Chains A and B, each alone.
Chain A
Amino acid sequence: MTASGTPVQGVTLYSFTRDFHARNHSVEELVREAAARGLGPGIEMVGFQSIKGFPAVTDEYVDRFQALVAETGLVPTCLSANADAGLRRDRMLTDDELVDYMAPQVEAAARLGFPVVRVQISLTPDDMQRLLPLAEKHDVRLGLEVHSHQHPKHPKIQALLERYEQLGSHHLGFVPDWGATLREVPQSLLARYRRDGVDDELLRKLVEAWHEHDAEGAPMTEEQHGRWFRQVMGLAHQHGAGDRGIEMAVNITGLFGHAKPEDWLELLPWAVHMHGKFYEIDASGDEPSVPVSRIVGLLVAAGWSGSISSEWEGFHWNDWDDPFDVVARMQALMRTSAEEAGSHLVTDPDEARRVLADHRSRS
């Protein structure tokens, strides 16, 4: 029988985007606030968000960041890098250019002390293989994010999995994002649209479209996703909300994925970190759109003991909830879910370091 997993609690500063963007808190203040509120011990940030000039990082910045980590007792888990294949307007980057584009980001993560670098779907299996020596050199793990509209069974993810199995290196893996496995359209988004005067008939049709797509199953081709995207844009136009058509299509077909929580199991041996994506916590303490409890239960039962960053993305439309409070409530849900599954979520920094070192050596 597999020993129960003890995933490690943590947060990504991305959850506090609205607050950071409004210049209410600096990165240093966000890190201290996360620590003071017990939202760690794991801490993640997005390089291009938290560091001006990224991926160029000065020695002075590295020193300051490491002093901040020491002061707060937090445990760096993941630096999110970006695979900007569409950087240029005249053409897409070539594979050579994209690999070169990733290298300084990987190096910056290593210098800052992050053991995992989140990378993105523009990278092919060949690109990942070409980045492997760099990951080995810096002893970091490259986790390709499995983000809606991709999902564990998507051909691109399956092709990566196949390559990982051939290469057998623990320096390559995935970062599952729970937004690929939703069970409902977030109520807070519908509340926002209502406040903005979007008519009820359109809201009903958006939810209906999401459920039609859910019945069809997570998209296996770009054509299928494109068809859904155009369908939602068409609905917005028909109902006089054409100026929000792209946004609605991005939300309904791009953010709220249709895979099943059980689909994550196939990727678990390669899951180097996770994004505990969530949108809202209701009055009962549950997450009505992302099945947090179910996912945590599956991870624990499967013996998975990696780091999970609570990633609140409700801020896109929700300007009424306090981001620190909503993350705390989601983490309470995760802890309860782990206990109900007969285990616990790691919140002690020393235990987190031990558990993550062990997780790293096993996979």
Chain B
Amino acid sequence: MLPDQMIEPGTLEVSGDRVRISLRMPWYRALPFSSVAGITWAIDGHEVDAASLTWSCDGTTLPLADLAARHDLWWYVLDSAVVEGAMPDGVAADGEHDVAVALGLYIPYITTDLGVLRLEERDRKTMTLEAAA
């Protein structure tokens, strides 16, 4: 739902060897952090190492892998989540880039015979990489 609003324009930033971006939730209501099933993020086709990703939302920063256990913390629908990871090799540290994000999202009140519904939403935008202030 609303995948076109997932990548927030103007938020691709580099700081040293780290790169970050802001994401909006591709759903209509707040969901627990445990609903985030995974993030795949590529810049010009170079994937940001998933093991290097951190997630910051509503004052809490966690390694992406820790979200699964946090059904006590919430991603509100109007809040941005900042995802940060190791800058992939081969990406120029300025200029325009092709940015692609896929976000898996469990919907906790919808189950099918396949289990809790897991959506996979994708967004892709051309963005200018800025140095973090």
Q: Which residues of A contact B (CB under 8 A)?
A: 14, 17-18, 20-23, 46, 48-49, 52-54, 82-90, 92, 120, 122, 222-223, 225-226, 229, 243, 246-247, 250, 254, 316, 319
Query: Could you tell me if A86 and B114 are in contact, using CB atoms closer than 8 angstroms?
Result: no
- A46-B28, A82-B109, A246-B120 known; A226+B114 contact, CB < 8 A: yes
Q: 10 closest pairs, A vs B, by CB?
A: A86-B116, A226-B113, A84-B108, A48-B29, A86-B108, A49-B29, A222-B113, A89-B68, A48-B30, A17-B28
Chain A residues lying within 8 Å of B122, measured Cβ to Cβ, are 243
A20 to B1, CA, bound (A): 14
Shortest C-beta distance, A21 to chain B (Å), equals 6
Determine if A87 and B34 form an interchain contact, defined as CB atoms under 8 angstroms apart.
Answer: yes
Does any Cβ of A come within 8 Å of B60's Cβ? no
Is residue B106 within 8 Å, beta carbon to beta carbon, of the partner chain? Answer: yes
A85 touches B109 (CB 8 A): yes
Q: How far is the CA of A250 from the CA of B79 in the complex (A)?
A: 26
- The answer to whether A229 and B77 have CB atoms under 8 Å apart is no
Say yes or no: is B111 at the interface (Cβ < 8 Å to chain A). Answer: yes
Residues of chain A with a CB closer than 8 A to B1's CB: 316
Q: Let me know if B107 is at the binding interface, CB within 8 A.
A: yes
Contacts of B42 in A (CB 8 A): none
10 further A-B pairs in the complex, CB-CB below 8 A; given A222-B113, A226-B112 = A20-B78, A21-B24, A46-B28, A46-B29, A52-B78, A83-B109, A84-B109, A89-B69, A247-B119, A316-B1
Assembled-state Cα–Cα distance A46/B68 (Å): 24
Structural contact, A89 and B106, CB atoms closer than 8 A: yes
Least Cβ–Cβ distance between A318 and chain B, in angstroms:
12
Determine the chain B residues whose CB is within 8 A of the CB of A243 once the complex forms: 120, 122
Type the 1/0 row for B45-69, where 1 means its CB is closer than 8 Å to any CB of A.
Answer: 0000000000000000000000011
Bound-state CA distance A243–B104 (Å) is 12
Per-residue contact bits, chain B 69-104, to A (CB 8 Å; 1 contact, 0 not): 101001011110000000000000000000000000
Partner of A246, one of B74, B78, B111, B119: B119
Alpha-carbon gap, A286 to B78, bound state (A): 34
Report the separation of the CA atoms of residues A254 and B115 in the bound assembly, to the nearest whole angstrom: 14
Known contacts A83-B109, A250-B117, A21 near B5 by CB under 8 Å:
yes
- Assuming the contacts A49-B28, A52-B76, A89-B68, asked whether A18 and B108 have C-beta atoms less than 8 A apart, the reply is no
Chain A, Cβ-Cβ closest to B77: A49
With A21-B24, A247-B119 known as contacts, the answer to whether A87 contacts B30 (CB < 8 A) is no
A-B contact count (CB 8 A): 90
Q: How far is the CA of A52 from the CA of B79 in the complex (A)?
A: 9
Question: Complex Cα distance A18/B28, Å?
Answer: 8
Inter-chain CA distance A247–B117, complex, in Å, is 11
Q: Which B9-65 residues sit within 8 Å CB-CB of chain A?
A: 24, 28-32, 34
- Cα A87 to Cα B109 in complex, Å, equals 8
- Contact: B34 with A89, CB < 8 Å? yes
A54 touching B109 in the complex, CB below 8 Å, given contacts A23-B78, A246-B119, A250-B117? no
Provided the pairs A243-B122, A247-B119 are in contact, do residues A54 and B30 lie with their beta carbons within 8 angstroms? Answer: yes
Q: Is B2 close to A, CB under 8 A? A: yes
Residue of B nearest to A315 (CB): B2
Q: Are A85 and B111 in contact, with the CB atoms below 8 A? A: yes
Question: How far apart are A45's CB and chain B's nearest CB, in angstroms?
Answer: 10
Would you give 29 A-B contacts (Cβ < 8 Å), ordered by A? Answer: A14-B28, A21-B77, A21-B78, A22-B5, A46-B28, A48-B29, A48-B31, A49-B28, A49-B30, A49-B77, A52-B78, A53-B74, A82-B109, A85-B108, A86-B108, A86-B116, A89-B34, A89-B68, A89-B69, A89-B71, A120-B109, A122-B111, A222-B113, A229-B112, A243-B120, A246-B118, A246-B120, A250-B119, A316-B2
Option from B2, B71, B109 in Cβ contact (under 8 Å) with A21 = B2
With A and B bound together, what is the CA distance between A250 and B117 in angstroms? Answer: 9
